Structure 1
Amino acid sequence: MVLAKTTGGRVDALDRRHNIHPFTDLAAMEKAERTVIVKAQGNYVFGEDGRKFLDGLGGMWCVNIGHGREEMAQAIADQVRQLDYYSPFDDLTTPAMASLVEALAQRAPGNLNRVLLTTGGSTAADSAVRLVHHYFIRLGQPSRRHVISRHNSYHGSTYLTASLSDPGYSEGWLAEREFVHHISAPNLYRRPEGLSEAEFLEVLVAEFEEKILELGAENVACFIAEPIQGSGGVIVPPEGYHKRMLAMCRKYGLLYISDEVVTGFGRLGHFFASEARFGIVPDIITSAKGLSSGYVPLGAVILSDDVYAVLSQKTGAYFNTGFTYSGHAVACAAALKNIEIIEREKLCERVRENGPRFEEKLKELVGLPLVGDVRGSRFMMCIEYVANKTRKELFADDVRIGKRIWRHCQKRGLLVRPLAHLNVLSPPLTLTLDEIEFIGDVLRDAIYDTADELTRDGIRTE
């Protein structure tokens, strides 16, 4: 078999005929517009028609070191030649696997020194919850099985992690609702009118405690939270939120899972954001995406020595989870090279230096038509569009406002991610100051063009 030719619409035709894209309207998929990406280099990707696009979404929150790294390709090729794959089961290991788990333990906060490697972010979060259940069974507290998550969260696409995510992700599916529960998102833009940030924080903490008491603290296993909610709209919580939620977990004996699939590996300027940015050391961190910069799929669950001590206290009590490709040697080699590049090129420091300008440039859009809110941190940003700026009213779904602006951005050589009434941006950490200016300028023009388009279509905005 050979790759489909990239001329004459062949790729487009094959894709429409056979491919089921993730998170899409299947009824409209065959007629949906396609952009065939055939090449990537640095911070740019290229279409089959020769068009060049600045990758404003970093693939999918993940290409932290940029595309087409020759030394990464060489590291992957060298590992394939040396050892392509071998089973991680039955007490077998490889140099790549052992080296990577050491590297992760060295960079994780506190005493998070034990690592379970998985195949991606979904399997990491799924495994983390299974691990928590196993933990409480080992403690003789099997009733502790309830998990508290949040609205606007996204934790993955397995059956369990889709259930952990915002209920909207489970529309059309029979989600797990017996032991998975949701509390409010810490969305400052959408907080009740008249509340200050500090007052809103108290409301959120009180709601969390009320949910624990409603379920019975003896029945609740853990709280799972992204430091900044990603696909749910890049929601930055009120100051001190994570510290207060962790304190509530400690009060009632819950474990705290920090989902750093997006925020890890430099996106917020640190290898992990939980402690460095938000001042907490959780019990468990999940990671993926930037762990290998998307070059090869990989995920990780990093847990504390305290949790591991309980899991390992009884000989013969198996922890029955793992995957054929857990700790795949090629994926581990890619992750090790990725870490090397991030540290050698000081990409975390670069994000801390250039991130504030990225925030400033995008926040200049707040006064434009359609723009309700611009939020985020460093290289993780979001623009929320509204039909009425005073009342913060959203557009009807069929307006597809995020997709309209995405289309105008693409015409100008910029790829952003459309999520209903949002556009999110998560560019490679190698983004330059000139490219930051380009992104902001293109978005400004695209928003104005979209406002004109809505007027022509008879769609009212205020």
Structure 2
Amino acid sequence: MDEAQHLAELDKKHFLHPTSSIQEQQSSGPAFIFKKGYGIYLEDIQGNVVIDGMSSLWNVNVGHGRKNLAEAAKKQMETLAYSSCFATFSNEPAIKLAAKLAQLAPPPLTATFFTSGGSEANDTAYKLARHYWLLKGEPARKKIIARNRSYHGVSMGATSATGLKPFRDFTQSLAPDFFHVDHFEVTALRALIEQEGPDTFAAIVAEPVQGAGGVHVPPADYFKKIKDICTEYGILLITDEVITGFGRTGKMFGMEHYEGVTPDMMCFAKGVTSGYAQLGGVMISEQMHQDFTQLSQGTLLHGYTYSGHATACAIALKNIDLLEQEDLVENAKLRGAELLDGLRSLAVDFDIIQSCRGLGLMAAIEFTGGLAPQIVKEAANRGLICRAVTFDNQDTLVLAPPLIITNEEVEKIITILKDTINSI
């Protein structure tokens, strides 16, 4: 038995994979065992090279194999890898990152609570929103509104907020006080608020572009209408920028596409470190921060072991430097437009393509006939990793390559997709 076979057997016996088919793993073993990454490419243990057309999980924004991020981690680990941030203890990278985020984020977001990832960030946002209303003397405000086709994570609160029914069906006991409305239906949102009582709602949570639910870009005036409703009824607006943050959409944050919309809270993760360390967080507005400061008594009884992790924060600071120094946000805008144009050219050639959509380096092809999973599988055989979304009767292929992608590499993706569709 060679090394690849040996690892595959160990994988089947000992590794319970996240968001994977257990039956497929047991029958076929791991689809890839990756050993190396460089740029937009991944190489497996057998030497096969594929384009990482999903930035792994929408998160490897600056690409694979960045030695300067490894050096930033090494430097920090040699001085202070980790120390607790409970009881007001702190560390230099966490402080500097919080300050940097305040410079980058849409106003009026100024203060950050750090987590280990996106699900924790979303759960934290819901808890902080409810605690906020307790402090404000409105304990009835505890309901959270999310949207169909949304994805907010898999911890208990985040699962309950996620608008993809199969994720909620995974467990028979969800967290209470979560509601869902059609993803772009403003009238239904207002009707729900009126029906349940405006003074019972703590927050509305929404992704600037729905990612895992199929890359759905809202109408230009959608978020302005949502913000107006939040203002009218005194409801907090939480934006989930876990996928859309740090350049993915061609802006540093996705909400920057919607003029005049200011969130009260913002969840982030993924692109903040480009996957080189586990880090997420929630930013809150200056007003919320002041209210917490003035109204809180005793200890804020919420925190994670790795909140403000020194090494993760040091990596994030270097990662943000790369985004800025290499102008990767602008590159995402330019290459994203080329990618969408290329996908639309495929739609001219193939009548099985119903539509194409995207913003920055988030893009989707809507097929007919249930072909997306088959196309994704064949594309992987031809050297391109992408994803199929079949929730809610969709037949969608989605792409989100690293922000470092070149024009030539965009063309390579289009060529592989064209050859794949032709073969099918």
- 1:279 CA drift (Å): 4.0
Cα offset, 1:18, TM superposition: 1.5
Deviates more, 1:22-31 or 1:74-83: 22-31
Deviates more, 1:39-48 or 1:167-176: 167-176
Are the aligned partners of 2:353 and 2:365 in contact in 1 as well (CA < 8 Å)? Answer: yes
Question: What is the letter of the counterpart of residue 181 of structure 1?
Answer: F
Amino acid at match of 1:156: G
1:118 and 1:6, CA in 2 relative to 1: closer, same or farther beyond 3 A?
A: farther
Q: TM-score, normalised by structure 1?
A: 0.87
What is the alpha-carbon distance in structure 1 between the residues aligned to residue 96 and residue 407 of structure 2?
Answer: 35
1:64 aligns with 2:38: no
Per-residue CA deviations over 1:288-314 (Å, capped at 9, x if unaligned) read 000000000100101101111222213
Does residue 415 (structure 1) correspond to residue 415 (structure 2)? The answer is no
Q: How does 1:434-449 map to 2 (within 5 A)?
A: 434-449=408-423
Gaps of 5+ in 1: 187-203, 388-394, 396-400, 451-462
Q: Deviation at 1:276?
A: 4.3
Deviation (angstroms), 1:315 = 5.0
- Whether the aligned pair in 1 keeps the contact of 2:93 and 2:314 (CA below 8 Å) is yes
Contact 1:224/1:258 (8 A) holds in 2: yes
**Once the 2 structures are TM-superposed, how far is the Cα of residue 32 of structure 1 from its aligned partner?**
3.9
One-letter amino acid of the counterpart of residue 406, structure 2:
T
Match status 1:383 vs 2:380: no
* CA apart distance, 1:371: 1.9
Task: Give the counterpart letter for 2:176 in structure 1.
Answer: E
Question: What SS class does the counterpart of residue 246 from structure 1 fall into?
Answer: helix
Partner of 1:165: 162
1:152–1:185 contact (8 Å) kept in structure 2: yes
The Cα offsets for residues 71-107 of structure 1, whole Å up to 9 and x where unpaired, read as: 1110001111010110111111011110100000111
Cα distance in 2 between the residues matched to 1:151 and 1:122: 17
Separation (CA, whole Å) in 2 of partners of 1:317 and 1:152 = 39
Q: Which residue of 2 aligns with 1:154?
A: 151
Within 5 Å, give how 1:170-209 maps onto structure 2: 170-176=168-174, 178-186=176-184, 204-209=185-190
Cα distance between partner residues in 2 of 1:7 and 1:354: 38
- Could you tell me which amino acid in structure 2 is paired with residue 417 of structure 1? R
* Change over 3 Å in CA distance of 1:6–1:366 after alignment to 2: farther
Matched, 1:325 2:306: yes
**1:370 deviation in Å?**
2.7
| Displacement of 1:418 | 2.6
Partner of 1:125: 122
**Aligned counterpart in structure 1 of residue 26 of structure 2, from 25, 30, 47:** 30
Cα distance in 2 between the residues matched to 1:319 and 1:363: 50
Shift of 1:178: 3.2
Tell me, in whole angstroms, the C-alpha distance in 2 between the residues paired with 1:282 and 1:99: 22
Alignment equivalent of 2:354, drawn from 362, 372, 375: 372
Give the residue type in structure 2 aligned to 1:406: V
Match of 1:292 among 259, 273, 298: 273
Identity %: 35
| In 2, Cα distance between equivalents of 1:279 and 1:262 | 21
Counterparts of 2:23 and 2:52 in 1: how far apart (Å)? 28
Tell me the equivalent position of 1:275: 256
Contact 1:163 1:175 in 2 (8 A): no
Is 1:6–1:48's contact at 8 Å kept on the other side of the alignment?
no
Counterpart pick for 1:348 among 329, 343, 352: 329
Moved more, 329-338 or 303-312: 303-312
For residue 109 of structure 1, report the CA deviation from its aligned partner.
Answer: 1.3
TM-fit CA distance, 1:448: 2.2
Match of 2:72 among 72, 75, 86: 75
Matched, 1:431 2:405: yes
> Residues 146-194 of structure 1: CA distance to partner in whole angstroms, max 9, x if unpaired?
11001110000101101100222111312436300000023xxxxxxxx
**In structure 2, how many angstroms separate the alpha carbons of the residues matched to 1:153 and 1:207?**
16
Deviates more, 1:221-230 or 1:354-363: 354-363
When structure 1 is superposed on structure 2, of 99-108 and 406-415 the one drifting more is 406-415
Alpha carbons 1:119, 1:298 under 8 Å: kept: yes
Hey, what's the Cα distance between the residues in 1 that align with 2:203 and 2:2? 48
**Pairing partner for 2:374 from 378, 381, 404:** 404
Unmatched 5+ residue regions in structure 2? none
